[in-house]
Amino acid sequence: MYCQKEISLKPYNRGFHLISDLIKESIDSSINEIKIGLLHIFIKHTSASITINENADQTVRNDMDFFFNNIVPENESYYTHVYEGADDMPAHIKSSIIGSSITIPITNGKLNMGVWQGVYLCEHRNLGGSRKLVLTIIGE
């Protein structure tokens, strides 16, 4: 079985946001019959990223945001791509570090993730706007 859909996320503030439930709601009926497969999630943006990490404690998401804002600060004198604001070039760098896609196993009709794992939208812009994800399911 192959299935692909594109979903739009509402705009989020800068930070790391747990979107696991939105992903599950978007694919639930599509994966029910899959015994073994994969869900590939791709974000169609260069100033936001997607990753998997701790799903229970909000302080992990806060610490992730603090860490990336410190290692990739705004207003550095060596940035030349500055036309879209002080947060734009750092957003591109953070997006490249974290990545634009993840793959999650599907086992017996369910996403096969660890108990403490969740999918994060990593919004690196102050006002990033709506984000689009491509969800591709491959399985049997």
pLDDT at 15: 97
Q: Which residues contact 39 (CB under 8 A, 6 or more apart)?
A: 23, 27, 31, 103, 104, 105, 106, 111, 135, 136, 137
- Widest Cα–Cα separation across the chain: 54
| Cα angle: 18, vertex 126, 52; to 5 degrees | 25
Would you state the pLDDT for residue 41?
98
Sign of CA dihedral 98, 40, 26, 107: negative
Question: How large is the average pLDDT for residues 10-33?
Answer: 96
Total domains in the chain come to 1
Range(s) of the domain holding residue 104? 2-139
In this predicted structure, what is the pLDDT of residue 123?
A: 98
pLDDT of residue 35: 97
**Dist. CA 19–CA 139, nearest whole Å:** 22
pLDDT digits over 73-130, tens only? 999 999 999 999 999 999 999 999 999 999 999 999 999 999 999 999 999 999 999 9
Q: What does the pLDDT read at residue 36?
A: 98
Confidence grade of residue 24 (pLDDT, cut at 50, 70, 90): very high
Q: What is the pLDDT of residue 28?
A: 87
What pLDDT score does 38 carry?
98
Tens digits of residue pLDDT in 35-88: 999 999 999 999 999 999 999 999 999 999 999 999 999 999 999 999 999 999
pTM (two decimals): 0.96
Amino acid in position 77:
S
CATH number at residue 68: 2.60.120.460
**Which residue, among 39, 40, 50, has the nearest Cα to 98 in the 3D structure?**
50
- Can you say how many angstroms the Cα of residue 46 is from the centroid of all Cα atoms in its chain? 12
User: How many alpha carbons lie under 13 Å from residue 108 in its C-beta half-sphere?
Assistant: 1
